[in-house]
Structure 1
Amino acid sequence: MKLFRLFFILLSFPLFAQQGGMWIPSLLEGMNASEMKNLGMKMTAKDIYDVNNASLKDAVPHFNGGCTSEVISNQGLLLTNHHCGYSQIQSHSSLENDYLENGFWAMSLKDELPNPGVTASFMVRIEDVTEQVLEGINEAMSEADKQKKIEENIALVVQTSPKEAWQENRVRTFYEGNQYMLFVVETFKDVRLVGAPPSSIGKFGSDTDNWIWPRHTGDFSLFRIYADKNNRPAEYSADNVPYTPKHFLPISLDGVAENDFTLVFGYPGTTDEYLPSVAIEQVINTVNPARIAIRDAALAIQDKYMRADPQIKIQYASKFARIANYWKKWKGETLGLTKSNAVGIKKQQERALTEQINKKGKQQQYGQLLPKFEEYYTEIEPYALAREYFLETVVRNVELLRLAFQTYQLKQVYENRGAQSFMDRKNNLIESAESHYKDYNKQVDKEVFEALIALYAENVPLQFLPASFQNINATQLANTVYSNSAFVDHNSLKILLEGDAETVIEKLNNDPGFKVAQEMADTYFDKVAPKYEALELNISGLQRDYMKALLELSPKEARIFPNANRTLRVTYGKVAGYSPADAIYYEPVTHLEGVMQKYIPGDYEFDVPQKLIDLYKAKDYGPYGENGKMPVNFIGTNHTTGGNSGSPAIDAHGNLIGLNFDRVWEGTMSDYYYDPALSRNIMVDIRYVLFIMDKYAGATNLIDELKLVHPKKDKKSSKKKK
Structure 2
Amino acid sequence: MRKSILLLSFLLVISLGKVVADEGMWLPILVQRLNYTDMQKAGLQLTAEEIYSVNHSSLKDAIVGLSNGPTPSGYFCTGEIVSDQGLIFTNHHCGYDAIQKHSTVEHDYLTDGFWAANLSEELPNPELSVSFLVRMEDVTDSVLAVVNDTMDVQERAAAIRKKTAELRKNNSDNGRYNVVVKSFFEGNEYYLFIYEVFTDVRLVGAPPSSVGKFGGDTDNWMWPRHTGDFSIFRVYCAPDGKPADYSPDNVPLQPKHHLPVSLDGVKKDDFTMIWGFPGNTDRYLTSFGVDFNLNNQYPAIIELLGRKLDAWKSFMEADTKVKIQYASKHASMANTWKYLIGQTRGLKRLNVKEKKEFLENDFTQWAAGDEQRSQRYGTVLADLQNGYSQMAATIRPMLYTNLAGLGGAEIIGYALEFASLRELLNPISKKDLPKDKEMAAKALQERQEKLAATIKNLREGVQEQFKDYYAPADQKVMAVLFDAYAHEMPFELQAEAFVAMLAKKGGNTEALAAEVFNNSIFASPEKVNAFLDKPNLKALEKDPALRLADSFMGKAMEAAGGFRTAQASLATAKRLFLEGLRKMQANKVFYPDANSTMRMTYGSVQDYYPADAIHYDYISTAKGILEKEDPTNDEFIVPPYLKELIEKQDFGPYADDNGKLIVCFLSTNDITGGNSGSPIINGKGELIGLAFDGNWEAMSGDIAFEPALQRTINVDVRYVLFIIDKYAGATRLIDELTIHKSEPKPIRIEKI
Q: TM-score range by the shorter chain?
A: over 0.9
Supply the distance in 2 between the matched residues of 1:345 and 1:115 (Cα, whole angstroms): 46
Higher mean alpha-carbon deviation, 180-189 vs 33-42, is at: 33-42
Larger Rg belongs to: 2
Partner of 2:382: 371
Letter in 2 for 1:636: S
Partner of 1:512: 544
Supply the distance in 2 between the matched residues of 1:359 and 1:179 (Cα, whole angstroms): 26
Partner of 1:3: none
Higher mean alpha-carbon deviation, 442-451 vs 674-683, is at: 674-683
In the alignment, which of 463, 477, 484 is matched to residue 512 of structure 2? 477
In the alignment, which of 385, 394, 405 is matched to residue 383 of structure 1? 394
Partner of 2:429: none
Q: 1:360 to 1:251 in 2, by over 3 A?
A: farther
Other structure's SS at 1:549 match: helix
Letter in 1 for 2:528: L
Higher mean alpha-carbon deviation, 323-332 vs 669-678, is at: 669-678
Supply the distance in 1 between the matched residues of 2:451 and 2:560 (Cα, whole angstroms): 24
Other structure's SS at 1:183 match: strand
Q: 1:335 to 1:412 in 2, by over 3 A?
A: farther
Q: 1:140 to 1:9 in 2, by over 3 A?
A: closer
Q: 1:23 to 1:227 in 2, by over 3 A?
A: same
Q: In the alignment, does 2:662 pair up with 1:631? A: yes
Letter in 1 for 2:190: Y
In the alignment, which of 223, 234, 258 is matched to residue 224 of structure 1? 234
**Aligned 8 A contact 2:317 2:323 in 1:** yes
TM-score (norm 1): 0.93
- How far apart are residue 603 of structure 1 and its match? 2.3
In the alignment, which of 277, 282, 298 is matched to residue 308 of structure 2? 298
Supply the distance in 2 between the matched residues of 1:95 and 1:521 (Cα, whole angstroms): 37
Other structure's SS at 1:119 match: strand
Listed as ranges, the matches of 1:138-177 within 5 Å are 138-161=148-171, 163=173, 166-177=176-187
Letter in 1 for 2:574: Q
**Aligned 8 A contact 1:464 1:528 in 2:** no
Supply the distance in 2 between the matched residues of 1:702 and 1:424 (Cα, whole angstroms): 45
Partner of 1:437: 466
**Aligned 8 A contact 2:14 2:22 in 1:** no
- How far apart are residue 456 of structure 1 and its match? 1.3
Q: 1:559 to 1:406 in 2, by over 3 A?
A: farther
- How far apart are residue 717 of structure 1 and its match? 8.0
Q: In the alignment, does 2:59 pair up with 1:46? A: no
Q: In the alignment, does 2:336 pair up with 1:326? A: yes
In the alignment, which of 592, 595, 602 is matched to residue 562 of structure 1? 592
**Aligned 8 A contact 1:394 1:405 in 2:** no
- How far apart are residue 207 of structure 1 and its match? 1.0
Supply the distance in 1 between the matched residues of 2:450 and 2:325 (Cα, whole angstroms): 32
Partner of 1:392: 403
Other structure's SS at 2:418 match: helix
- How far apart are residue 45 of structure 1 and its match? 2.9
Identical amino acids, percent of aligned pairs: 40
Q: 1:350 to 1:422 in 2, by over 3 A?
A: farther
Listed as ranges, the matches of 1:181-330 within 5 Å are 181-330=191-340
Partner of 1:26: 29
Q: 1:611 to 1:514 in 2, by over 3 A?
A: same
- How far apart are residue 19 of structure 1 and its match? 3.9
Supply the distance in 2 between the matched residues of 1:93 and 1:646 (Cα, whole angstroms): 22
Supply the distance in 1 between the matched residues of 2:14 and 2:313 (Cα, whole angstroms): 49
Supply the distance in 2 between the matched residues of 1:423 and 1:717 (Cα, whole angstroms): 77
**Aligned 8 A contact 2:13 2:23 in 1:** no
Q: Deviations over 1:507-537 (max 9, x none)?
A: 3221101111111111221x31111111111
- How far apart are residue 208 of structure 1 and its match? 1.1
In the alignment, which of 489, 504, 515 is matched to residue 460 of structure 1? 489
Q: 1:540 to 1:698 in 2, by over 3 A?
A: same
- How far apart are residue 673 of structure 1 and its match? 1.2
**Aligned 8 A contact 2:138 2:191 in 1:** yes
In the alignment, which of 35, 52, 71 is matched to residue 38 of structure 2? 35
Q: In the alignment, does 2:350 pair up with 1:340? A: yes
Q: Deviations over 1:143-185 (max 9, x none)?
A: 0011011101111111112637532222111111111111111
Q: Deviations over 1:75-105 (max 9, x none)?
A: 1011111111111111221111111111111
Q: Deviations over 1:432-457 (max 9, x none)?
A: 34122111111111111100011112
Other structure's SS at 1:704 match: helix
Letter in 1 for 2:647: K
TM-score (norm 2): 0.90
Other structure's SS at 1:652 match: coil
- How far apart are residue 202 of structure 1 and its match? 0.6
Other structure's SS at 1:440 match: coil
Q: In the alignment, does 2:560 pair up with 1:529? A: yes
Other structure's SS at 1:85 match: helix
Other structure's SS at 2:603 match: strand
Supply the distance in 2 between the matched residues of 1:8 and 1:449 (Cα, whole angstroms): 42
Listed as ranges, the matches of 1:445-456 within 5 Å are 445-456=474-485
Partner of 1:546: 577
**Aligned 8 A contact 2:497 2:548 in 1:** no
- How far apart are residue 460 of structure 1 and its match? 2.4
Letter in 2 for 1:487: F
- How far apart are residue 186 of structure 1 and its match? 0.6
Higher mean alpha-carbon deviation, 153-162 vs 467-476, is at: 467-476
Letter in 2 for 1:516: L
Q: In the alignment, does 2:586 pair up with 1:583? A: no
**Aligned 8 A contact 2:25 2:670 in 1:** yes
**Aligned 8 A contact 1:163 1:169 in 2:** no
Supply the distance in 2 between the matched residues of 1:454 and 1:495 (Cα, whole angstroms): 32
Supply the distance in 2 between the matched residues of 1:87 and 1:9 (Cα, whole angstroms): 35
**Aligned 8 A contact 2:12 2:23 in 1:** no
Supply the distance in 2 between the matched residues of 1:61 and 1:603 (Cα, whole angstroms): 35
In the alignment, which of 402, 407, 412 is matched to residue 401 of structure 1? 412
**Aligned 8 A contact 1:656 1:686 in 2:** yes
**Aligned 8 A contact 1:218 1:689 in 2:** yes
Q: Deviations over 1:12-38 (max 9, x none)?
A: 635877341111111112332223223
Other structure's SS at 1:562 match: coil
Q: 1:193 to 1:520 in 2, by over 3 A?
A: same
In the alignment, which of 57, 60, 70 is matched to residue 60 of structure 2? 57
Q: Deviations over 1:612-641 (max 9, x none)?
A: 011011100000012121111112111111
Count of paired positions: 707
- How far apart are residue 360 of structure 1 and its match? 3.8
Q: 1:719 to 1:181 in 2, by over 3 A?
A: farther
Q: 1:41 to 1:403 in 2, by over 3 A?
A: same
Supply the distance in 1 between the matched residues of 2:80 and 2:421 (Cα, whole angstroms): 39
Letter in 2 for 1:586: Y
Letter in 1 for 2:282: D
Partner of 2:431: none
Other structure's SS at 1:617 match: helix
In the alignment, which of 696, 712, 720 is matched to residue 681 of structure 1? 712
Supply the distance in 1 between the matched residues of 2:7 and 2:719 (Cα, whole angstroms): 44
Unaligned runs of 5+ in 1: 1-5
CA RMSD of aligned residues (A): 2.4
**Aligned 8 A contact 2:302 2:340 in 1:** yes
Partner of 2:627: 597
Unaligned runs of 5+ in 2: 68-74, 427-442
Supply the distance in 2 between the matched residues of 1:467 and 1:487 (Cα, whole angstroms): 21
Q: Deviations over 1:388-435 (max 9, x none)?
A: 2233224544211221233347768999x9957776566444423412
Letter in 2 for 1:108: N
**Aligned 8 A contact 2:131 2:198 in 1:** yes
Q: In the alignment, does 2:664 pair up with 1:664? A: no
Letter in 2 for 1:480: E
Other structure's SS at 2:608 match: coil
**Aligned 8 A contact 2:312 2:330 in 1:** yes
Other structure's SS at 2:578 match: helix
Supply the distance in 2 between the matched residues of 1:629 and 1:403 (Cα, whole angstroms): 52
- How far apart are residue 386 of structure 1 and its match? 1.7
